[in-house]
Amino acid sequence: MADSIMSKAATMEIPISSNGDSRTLAEDDGLEQDLQQVMVSGPNLNETSIVSGGYGGAAEGIIPTSSIKDLRSKSRGITPSQSAASRIANQVQEYQAPNMHHSNSNPSMMAEEATRGVAVEKFDTVKKWSINTYKCTKQMFSERFGRGSRTVDLELEVQIDLLRDTKSKYESVLRLASALTAHFYSMVQTQQALGDIFADLSQKSPELQDEFGYNAETQKLLCKNGETLLGAINFFVSSINTLVNKTMEDTLMTIKGYENARLEFDAYRADLEELSTGPRDAGTMVRIEIAQQQYGIHRDKYERLRSDVSIKLKFLEENKVKVMHKQLLLFHNAISAYFAGNQQQLEQTLRQFNVKLKPPGSDKPSWLEEQ
């Protein structure tokens, strides 16, 4: 019976198109070549597939994998070539679907791995910071209660204390000079207003015209000299402010970093000494080796910052002497010339120290800035 079915299948292998027309052998050959190209370029599917024997070329035609499936296909009006093409297309789609899913999942997997890496890095940072903070806090309390030792550079400590004391006194000078500037500015404004009133009364009082005129000229001269002196005092205040709040503050920030490095160095030094005096088992030796590495790192940091502080203190002292020598001489000469009423010497003092006066009203914003 199987032979009769196979013979019937061999006689029914003429392909029928959708409109009932017979296909030519050339069309069958073209379809066979297309299917072969799909099978060659497609994936290696580990399943039973159609074996093409070159139908239209050899006498046996196309031998299907299952004669029953071919008979079912022929009963539905589907040729073996169309059934093979549909199965190939389905297998290609099944092969491409996991790949598409995999390609879509790759970005999410990469993002998840990146997030996990950042989280691990943050955790390590917090862990190191916590250990370092614990050791430094322990060392700080040990020093405060007299149970721990600290590294001291006597010469450097004296210079640091002297700098802090000097900065405090210079801040007082800056505060008083700023107050003097504010009070003197008010006095100059009062003299200018008084001179204007005297000049107005000189015009309206003929019997006292000369007296009001003399006083008006005196107040205007005092106002002009006062503005010149204000320029000198403002220059003095600006220079002191730069020295105190920038130069000295920068050095003190370096000193603060040096003191923190000293505390860390002593903390890891005490930790290493404590491990060295304990038992020497395998775990302790590993901890001692790690402690020695940390001790070396913080020792190098401490020595580097100590050198930086020494250099900055030296340059700060030289700069302070140079700046204060110029500013104190300017302040003295300007005050002396003003109260002596020597206008020429006052103006010469400002030229000597390259102090440029701002024109009246230059501090006011322009009409464009007010908009």
Residue 224's closest CA among 103, 346, 118, 115? 346
Question: In which band, very low, low, confident or very high, does the pLDDT at 142 lie, cut at 50, 70 and 90?
Answer: confident
Number of Cβ atoms within 10 Å of the Cβ of 296: 12
Give the model confidence (pLDDT) of 211-242 as tens digits.
888 999 989 988 999 999 999 999 999 999 99
pLDDT above 70: residue 276:
yes
pLDDT of residue 278: 75
Overall average pLDDT of the 152-162 stretch: 92
Which of the pair, 287 or 159, is modelled with greater confidence?
Answer: 159
Query: What percentage of the chain carries pLDDT values higher than 70?
Result: 68
CB-based contact 70:83 (threshold 8 Å) = yes
Question: In which band, very low, low, confident or very high, does the pLDDT at 135 lie, cut at 50, 70 and 90?
Answer: confident
Helix, strand or coil for residue 25?
helix
pLDDT above 60: residue 171:
yes
Q: Which CATH architecture has domain 227-341?
A: Up-down Bundle (1.20)
pLDDT above 50: residue 69:
no
Kindly report the average pLDDT of the chain as a whole number: 75
Alpha-helix residue ranges (DSSP H) falling in the chain: 2-11, 25-41, 67-75, 80-144, 154-204, 209-242, 249-276, 282-339, 343-352, 367-370
pLDDT of residue 1: 44
Which of the pair, 15 or 333, is modelled with greater confidence?
Answer: 333
**End-to-end Cα distance, the chain:** 106
Distance in angstroms (rounded) separating the CA atoms of residues 221 and 192: 9
Overall average pLDDT of the 307-318 stretch: 94
Question: In which band, very low, low, confident or very high, does the pLDDT at 206 lie, cut at 50, 70 and 90?
Answer: confident
Distance in angstroms (rounded) separating the CA atoms of residues 245 and 249: 5
Question: In which band, very low, low, confident or very high, does the pLDDT at 320 lie, cut at 50, 70 and 90?
Answer: very high
- The two structure tokens encoding residue 257: 């970093």
Angle in degrees, 0-180, between the axes of helices 80-144 and 67-75, rounded to the nearest 10: 110
Residue 184's closest CA among 331, 343, 364? 331
Quote the Cα angle for 252-257-245, to 5°: 20
Indicate the range of 70-74, 94-98, 227-231, 297-301 predicted with least confidence.
70-74
Which of the pair, 351 or 61, is modelled with greater confidence?
Answer: 351
pTM for this structure?
Answer: 0.60
**Where in the chain are the domains?**
227-341
Question: In which band, very low, low, confident or very high, does the pLDDT at 51 lie, cut at 50, 70 and 90?
Answer: very low
pLDDT of residue 90: 61
pLDDT of residue 88: 59
Give the model confidence (pLDDT) of 83-124 as tens digits.
555 665 565 555 555 554 444 557 777 777 777 777 788 877
Overall average pLDDT of the 48-68 stretch: 43
